[in-house]
Amino acid sequence: MDKFNKLTGVAAPLPLINIDTDMIIPKQFLKTIKRTGLGKNLFDEMRYDEKGNEKPDFVLNKPAYRHAQILVAGDNFGCGSSREHAPWALADFGIRCVISTSFADIFYNNCFQNGILPIKLPQEDVDKLMDDAARGANAVVTIDLEAQEIHGPDGGVIKFDLDPFRKHCLLNGLDGVGLTLQKKDKIDAFEERQKISEPWL
């Protein structure tokens, strides 16, 4: 998993509440177990019409936001089913940070396992960032994870809270597998001892 330290990129505004995981990546795209290739179907039903043509009014189809790396969203982002394909699709599109007032618990946890930083902020801070994001290509925001700060395009700074363990994992690019592999020496030693003490296993 890629390390997350400081991210500077365009922030896209998505002022909708209760965006569920089926809206993020519809069920027909869940057949794959690969983490790549899902970005083109991110928000599929909002991005494309029934003929597969882009809807020009959808934010990520607008030229200024086609390469957005930060998403400023409404309340209760990532609700619905527990599909991990939702953060896979966001990451494959290029989204590394989602900012909202609240997230569904499973989606929130899945983000950290996939190198995405979900930031919870009070409504007034989200409103300010939503307004900043509406500036189009000028909506450049910097997320400083080490300092736990968001720097807006006008120079304003918003502090955010984050669990220290989750921060450590993102800064060091550690998902569940990466954390386990940090104990590789102990795991190898245990397996060697077990081969001797319990050779029938």
> What CATH number does the domain containing 161 carry?
3.20.19.10
pLDDT in tens, 112-131: 999 999 999 999 999 999 99
CB neighbours (10 Å) of residue 76?
A: 18
Domain count, the chain: 1
Structural domain harbouring 82: 6-174
Rounded CA gap, 31 and 53, in Å? 23
Residue 109 lies in a domain: yes
Residue 192 lies in a domain: no
Rounded CA gap, 143 and 47, in Å? 26
Residue 22 lies in a domain: yes
Residue 179 lies in a domain: no
pLDDT in tens, 145-177: 999 999 999 899 999 999 999 999 999 998 767
Rounded CA gap, 160 and 138, in Å? 22
| pTM of the full structure | 0.89
